[in-house]
Chain A
Amino acid sequence: MQLSDQIAQYLVSGLSTGAIYALIGIGFAIIYNSTEIINFAQGELVMLGGMFTLFFLNVTRLPLPIAILLAVAATTVSGILFERLTIRPLKSPSQISLIIITIGGSILIRGIAMTVWGKDTHSLPAFSGSEPLSIGAATILPQHLWIFGLTAIAIIANKLFFQYTITGKAMRACAANRRAAGLVGIDVKRMVLFSFAISAILGSLAGIIVAPLTMTSYDVGIMLGLKGFCAAIIGGLSGGIGTVLGGLLLGMLESLGAGLISSGYKDAIAFIILLLILFIRPQGLFGKAQTDRV
């Protein structure tokens, strides 16, 4: 294979993992914008999406589409429970305590998943066969198409929700100014709950559509979550197109790095990018600079 063909191939697979990172990253951004919390358990919701699908598919023997819907629902309930039990009871949380609580939540969920489903890695069947299609110089799996399609739908639905529904607008108001939103009669606590629910939906969807390509196990959440965060940071924690571009960029750089430099250091590449962005432009490549008020 020629180098240009190889690069085209890396770009295709990079774009599809990038789309996953984008979905996870938007989940981070939605919670951050309405609560200023970085939910370190976001990756675990992604893992739960894949594991619940497996459970409904293998144990209850339901057809794939129904298993997926139930898995998204179950993950969303987990996200809501997490918010209700750990975030809401806090009276005046400091940033450090929120970090520690969400980290605690992430390892608690991981531990429970490990005891319930064991330590093995599982694979999910591809949604529609695994016969590769060739597009130009690169070949593409049907699962890649599913990833692109479902990610695009999820992002557009998300955008429409925040742009046109009353709830979406109320959540944007909370993001802009929680106190003011509360004063005009918006139930801020409920909006926080919604933000956890929406990010659980997006996260679990990401975990489900990527599982046929990469396998899943109780501990895949750490890496996926961190890379989603990386995408969100590149996008300036915007929850919009910035994070999508951030995810795609990260996916492609990682895939090129793994293919052309070293596959063993693939994960390190994402973190080096994360550190560079944090050091040089913590407001993100696409974000506006902010000033801290004291």
Chain B
Amino acid sequence: MNLEVIKFLILTTIILLLPVTIQEGYLLNVLVFVGIHTMLAVALNLLLGYAGQISLGQAGFFGLGAYLSGILTATHGLNPWLAIAIAATTVTLIAFIVGFPILKLKGHYLAMATLGLGIIIYIIFNEAVEITGGPSGLSGIPNLSLGSIKFDSDLKNYYLIWVITLICMGLSLNLVHSRIGRALRSIHDSEVAARVMGVNARLLKVQIFALSAGLSAIAGSLYAHTMTFIAPASFGFNFSVELVTMVIIGGLASVYGSLLGAALLTVLPEMLRAFQDYDIIVYGFLLIVMTMYMPGGLVKGGVTLFTALKVKLNKLRMGSAPNA
């Protein structure tokens, strides 16, 4: 067994055993959110970290998944699993189609276009009142169930969300270590060079964009079925930025980093409830400082900082030693 598999298995064991030590419903509920956010951050990282293409509209796809699932089940009485499948397929297809014109754009043009797309989707959630319930939201979304098990408690939701999150992480790890992963990184470094080497950069970028949107939609569906209530406020521009922050803090091009970023940015605000209104300041500050001083994210940044300190200490020791 190689190191990657062992790392992943250790993580899986920890996550599956965690509820044994945590009995409190509230904390489990926070961990359910960590799972959903991890899925979203991993999905965004495939696009932003590996392919180097920014998306500021990710909350829109998350919301589309949630609303499609919610409307199909609460309004039309469809089976929730079928609704998730339909939502994921539809959003993937939509992203694939808009992906061609959008990913022709680069840098800030791409950022603005994805941002615009996200805001248009958000406005539709608010304005299409007959379908979405408008600003007051959509309620009565059924929980998922598997045979006789109904996912209606925090503990059951924990296992539901984390099993799916772990599958997403496993698939993503597999993807980024494959030929496709290498092709993605080559696009990140130089799209022209990648093209010269025979990578169909255009198609690959669109495919990753669609995959990332589809995974976000699945996360959205799961969110809708565990919360049983959704409102547009959860899918706005601020949440898109929050997701980018998670990816940046955890580290670009790191699947485990996304887990760390999602966990930090979900658990910390919960612990700092008293500072609720200040979290927007914290996000802004973190985005700037991390990008300026730790562009590799917390994991890589920590390692670099540690090595740099060690080198410095060694130098000091060498310098102070006599006749060195």
**A joins B in a complex:** yes
Which A90-120 residues sit within 8 Å CB-CB of chain B? 90, 95-101, 103-112, 114-115
Which B117-160 residues sit within 8 Å CB-CB of chain A? 117, 119-120, 123-124, 126-127
Q: Tell me whether B199 is interfacial, beta carbon within 8 Å.
A: no
Q: Tell me whether B113 is interfacial, beta carbon within 8 Å.
A: yes
| Proximity string of chain B (88-118) to chain A, C-beta cutoff 8 Å, 1 when within and 0 when not | 0000000000000110111111011101110
Contact with B281, one of A108, A222, A264 (Cβ below 8 angstroms): A108
Are B284 and A111 in contact, CB atoms less than 8 angstroms apart? yes
Q: Tell me whether A245 is interfacial, beta carbon within 8 Å.
A: no
User: Interface size of B by Cβ–Cβ distance < 8 Å?
Assistant: 44
CB neighbours of A114 from chain B (8 A) = 277, 280
| A108-B288 in contact given A114-B277, A226-B119, A267-B119 (Cβ < 8 Å) | yes
Q: Tell me whether A287 is interfacial, beta carbon within 8 Å.
A: no
| A108→B291 CA distance, assembly (Å) | 14
CB neighbours of A278 from chain B (8 A) = 101, 105, 109, 112-113, 116
| A105→B196 CA distance, assembly (Å) | 37
- A225 CB to nearest chain B CB (Å): 10
Q: State the B residues within 8 Å of A (CB).
A: 48, 52, 54, 56, 101-102, 104-109, 111-113, 115-117, 119-120, 123-124, 126-127, 192, 237-238, 241, 244, 248, 277-278, 280-288, 291-292, 295
| A282-B105 in contact given A99-B111, A103-B241, A275-B116 (Cβ < 8 Å) | yes
Q: Tell me whether A89 is interfacial, beta carbon within 8 Å.
A: yes
Are B280 and A110 in contact, CB atoms less than 8 angstroms apart? yes
Are B126 and A274 in contact, CB atoms less than 8 angstroms apart? no
Are A271 and B52 in contact, CB atoms less than 8 angstroms apart? no
CB neighbours of A99 from chain B (8 A) = 54, 107-108, 111
Are A97 and B107 in contact, CB atoms less than 8 angstroms apart? no
7 closest residue pairs by CB, A with B: A108-B284, A104-B287, A111-B281, A111-B280, A38-B108, A104-B288, A107-B284
CB pairs A–B below 8 angstroms (10 shown): A89-B292, A101-B292, A103-B241, A104-B291, A107-B284, A108-B287, A226-B119, A275-B117, A278-B116, A282-B109
Contact with B287, one of A37, A100, A268 (Cβ below 8 angstroms): A100
| A294→B108 CA distance, assembly (Å) | 18
Are A275 and B113 in contact, CB atoms less than 8 angstroms apart? yes
> In the complex, what residue of chain B is closest to A267 when comparing beta carbons?
B123
Q: Tell me whether A164 is interfacial, beta carbon within 8 Å.
A: no
CB neighbours of B288 from chain A (8 A) = 86, 101, 104-105, 108
| A294-B192 in contact given A38-B112, A274-B112 (Cβ < 8 Å) | yes
| A49→B323 CA distance, assembly (Å) | 63
